[in-house]
Structure 1
Amino acid sequence: MTQILTVCTGNICRSPLAELVLAQRLGDLDVGVASAGIRARDDDRMPLEAAELAVAAGVPAEAAARHGARYLTEGMLQGVDLALAMDREHRRAIVQLAPGALRVTFTVREFARLAAATPDDALRAGAVGADAGARLRGALTVLAGQRGLVLPPEDPADDDVVDPYGRSRQTYERSAEQLLPALDAVERVVRLVAG
């Protein structure tokens, strides 16, 4: 089974939205999706705004209601095929916790930017292996190799998803507007190399 982990700060807004949307979209594949937070308090619930955005994105309301925050541990990164951070601080925290995860860790918007600049044929060529997880890791090696070749965004914050916690409904919506298109790219790549 391919394992994807999404990571943010409190694991109540951005990373659970990403987890729930990816799990819903990739439900027909052998893919497990989980989430955690670098400063999460176990079992905290999603704010109403985040849960409503999940439902609007096609997630069943009961799935959003069941989510409980989890604190990120090194053990959670063992066997992860793709780690998606919501911002650069989270990406840095993941790699500090598990340096071996460097090649499979991206901010979600960085992933989308690199995937858009990488031909499907190059991703398929890198996607070698007996199982879907190995093929995804191979494709991620190709994407990670693009980091030095694809120009970074003019504003580094463009690789981040804004944190909406404790802010206006408009900020929650802006956060989702940044996150959901990036998840489209994740879904496309996972399906491309799934087999």
Structure 2
Amino acid sequence: MDTSAPVRILTVCTGNICRSPVAERLLQAGLDQAVPGGFEVASAGTRAMVGEPMQPISADIVRTFGGSPDHFAARQLTPNILRGVDLVLTMTSGHRGEVLQLDASLLKRTFTIREFARMLDVLDQRAADGVAEAGAAVVPSTADAHDGASPLAANAAYWRGLPARAAGVRHLSLPADSSENDIVDPYRRDPGVYRQMEDQLAPAIVSILRHARLNAPSAEAAAGPGS
């Protein structure tokens, strides 16, 4: 594997026209700012409306938060699309199960987007409090990249080890109700449900982007001492 290859993230919902496209485009826009060239974000649907653009209200949400809905076409989730993905973020627990039916090897790299965001919030808070994480010594932070590693390679190493670190604090991020792991499906429903979707999805995206910014590699750190 090319250690400097972009981290590949896949977002998944049902039709791939409402929820996962919003997550895809907003994550891509924010991650491009945090680590230019460091991430490739795509999406797919478990019962996709193949070839369809994202729904108009979803497109408006993307524009509102600074992303672009242009040139989007829904795709059906397949084993081939899952091959080589570093992180899968689903909109519901049910979608997570469907991903794992297609590729069980992704068990430790597949989360609902809301649960993953809560785990990153825990990691960020513990880092701010100076609490060492289990496995931190073997999962290099981007600020402590291997000597001579490029910033993109440092970023890739960090994010490819992140799912294991996140899972390690799952017990500290459990919701009061399991429904809080899911993003509501607004398809063919009134605009108020789209606002509910936005209210559930936006904080999760913000948490993921915050974590990316906090752990973004610098060229100086990645170059190592004596460079």
Number of the residue aligned with 1:136: 159
Number of the residue aligned with 1:31: 39
1:181 paired residue among 187, 199, 203: 203
Number of the residue aligned with 2:224: none
Does residue 51 (structure 1) correspond to residue 59 (structure 2)? The answer is yes
**Amino acid in the other structure paired with 2:205:** L
2:97 paired residue among 86, 92, 98: 92
**Amino acid in the other structure paired with 2:42:** A
More helix by share: 1
Aligned 1:100-139 pairs, distance under 5 A: 100-118=105-123, 119-120=126-127, 122=133, 125=136, 127-128=139-140, 131=153, 132-139=155-162
Q: Distance in 2 between matches of 1:177 and 1:69?
A: 23
Q: Distance in 2 between matches of 1:141 and 1:48?
A: 36
Q: Distance in 2 between matches of 1:40 and 1:190?
A: 29
Q: Give secondary structure in 2 for the equivalent of 1:66.
A: coil
Q: CA deviation at 1:96?
A: 1.7
- What is the aligned-residue RMSD (CA, Å)? 2.0
Q: Distance in 1 between matches of 2:109 and 2:71?
A: 28
The 1:154–1:32 alpha-carbon spacing in structure 2 relative to 1, beyond 3 Å, is: same
Q: CA deviation at 1:122?
A: 3.0
Q: Report if aligned partners of 1:124, 1:193 keep a CA contact under 8 Å in 2.
A: no
Unaligned runs of 5+ in 2: 1-5, 141-145, 218-227
Q: Distance in 2 between matches of 1:192 and 1:7?
A: 25
TM-score (ref. length: structure 1): 0.90
The 1:49–1:76 alpha-carbon spacing in structure 2 relative to 1, beyond 3 Å, is: same
Q: CA deviation at 1:124?
A: 9.2
Aligned length: 191
Q: Distance in 2 between matches of 1:127 and 1:135?
A: 7
Q: Which has the higher Rg, Structure 1 or Structure 2?
A: 2
TM-score (ref. length: structure 2): 0.78
**Amino acid in the other structure paired with 1:32:** E
| More displaced stretch, 165-174 vs 128-137 | 128-137
Number of the residue aligned with 2:185: 163
Q: CA deviation at 1:146?
A: 2.2
Aligned 1:40-79 pairs, distance under 5 A: 40-60=48-68, 64-79=69-84
| More displaced stretch, 98-107 vs 183-192 | 183-192
| More displaced stretch, 89-98 vs 131-140 | 131-140
The 1:83–1:73 alpha-carbon spacing in structure 2 relative to 1, beyond 3 Å, is: same
**Amino acid in the other structure paired with 1:136:** W
Q: Report if aligned partners of 1:3, 1:133 keep a CA contact under 8 Å in 2.
A: no
